[in-house]
A = this chain, B = another copy of it.
Amino acid sequence: MSRPFYEQIAIIGVGMMGTSLGMSIKKKGLCKKVIGIDRNFDNLKTARRLSAIDSYTDCLKDGIADAVLVIFATPILSMFEIAKRIVYAVRKDAIITDIGSTKAELVYRMTELFHEHGNYIGSHPITGTEKSGAINAIDGLYVGRRCIVTPVDTTDRFTIEAITRFWEAIGSEVSVMNPDTHDKVMATVSHLPHVVAYALISGIMEGEKSGHDLLRYAGGGLKDFTRIAGSDPLMWRDILMSNAKEVLGSMERFSKTLERLAALIRDKDMKGVYEFLDQVKDVRRRFTDT
């Protein structure tokens, strides 16, 4: 497919994610002009300095008025409120997307909201860092990473193709999935691991109330968990809340798995415990291969 070119792109929210995306858009030459929209002028100035955007504003309607591609990169729970304020101002031919980490709850509402206004389709680029703010933007953050686009039954083919071309031009590998499947998959491979890491570190803190400086005795394993639990608590609260049903389901399944292993240990079932621990080698190998 030929490289897409947009006259004007608006990025709503120029934090770490939005600014990194702007950097890639500019670098790949995908548009004439990128406008950054934010209430935080530090972020806007930093994004401008990093050449992630060409100009900026804190006025939503001015910012998106001429954009043919509008990208929501704000915290996920704020997106719908912001969308309501711009819905009548978007161009009829504009592609509208977001980079939120959960989809069903947002996508169905956005699809309805933008029904007669522009062409909305959800995106979820699977990338990020533990750090936030434009100052922590990373050139190439999206390159070589997977991006899931989440059309619904009513999304037209042109919109799916347009957003696919956009992400591929950025350098991402695109998968197409409906929003519900997306949320189920993400609950398992991303949200649950985070929940578990947060709970584990929380348990360490409880344990330290006994007076031991437990971290002194931690090996590499716990350090990895600490890194994961070092993700932005505000962002993760929003992810867990906006995907509550699937997250709770995955937590419940996980608790049962854990209880199954506990029972094997309690029963001194050497063979059973070994088999439980050994079964993961297939996953390990596949991860190493990718």
**Interface residue ranges, A against B (CB under 8 Å):** 126-128, 146, 148, 175, 181, 185-186, 188-190, 192-207, 212, 214-230, 233-234, 236-237, 240-241, 244, 247-248, 250-255, 257-259, 261-262, 265-266, 268, 270, 273-274, 276-284, 286-287, 290
Closest to A197 in B: B221
- What are the nearest 3 A-B pairs in CB distance? A233-B277, A224-B224, A233-B278
Chain B hits for A192, CB < 8 A: 200, 203
Chain B hits for A203, CB < 8 A: 188, 192, 250, 253-254, 257
Chain B hits for A281, CB < 8 A: 230, 233
Docked CA distance A181–B225 (Å):
23
Q: Is the CB of A277 within 8 A of B222?
A: no
Known: A148-B217, A265-B240. A188 touches B204 (CB 8 A): yes
Given B190, B217, B223, B224, which contacts A146 in the complex, CB threshold below 8 Å? B217
Docked CA distance A99–B247 (Å):
40
For this chain, the copies found in one complex come to 2
Chain B hits for A252, CB < 8 A: 262
Given B175, B206, B216, B251, which contacts A216 in the complex, CB threshold below 8 Å? B175
Main secondary structure of the interface of A (DSSP, over half): helix
Q: Is the CB of A198 within 8 A of B255?
A: no
22 intermolecular pairs with C-beta atoms under 8 Å apart: A128-B219, A146-B217, A148-B217, A175-B217, A185-B212, A188-B203, A188-B214, A190-B217, A190-B222, A194-B221, A195-B258, A196-B258, A197-B221, A201-B283, A202-B280, A215-B283, A224-B224, A226-B283, A233-B277, A237-B270, A251-B258, A255-B255
Q: Is the CB of A199 within 8 A of B146?
A: no
Q: Is the CB of B286 within 8 A of A215?
A: yes
Chain B hits for A270, CB < 8 A: 237, 241
Closest to A261 in B: B199
Q: Is the CB of B222 within 8 A of A257?
A: no
Q: Is the CB of B189 within 8 A of A193?
A: no
Chain B hits for A253, CB < 8 A: 203, 206
Docked CA distance A12–B190 (Å):
42
Known: A189-B204, A241-B268. A277 touches B198 (CB 8 A): yes
Docked CA distance A284–B224 (Å):
11
Between A127, A219, A223, the greatest number of chain B beta carbons within 10 A of the residue's beta carbon is seen for A219
Chain B hits for A217, CB < 8 A: 126, 146, 148, 175, 185-186, 189-190
Distance in Å: Cβ of A276 to nearest Cβ of chain B = 7
Chain B hits for A248, CB < 8 A: 262, 265-266
Between A221, A225, A241, A247, the greatest number of chain B beta carbons within 10 A of the residue's beta carbon is seen for A221
Q: Is the CB of A258 within 8 A of B257?
A: no
Known: A190-B222, A255-B258, A280-B202. A274 touches B237 (CB 8 A): yes
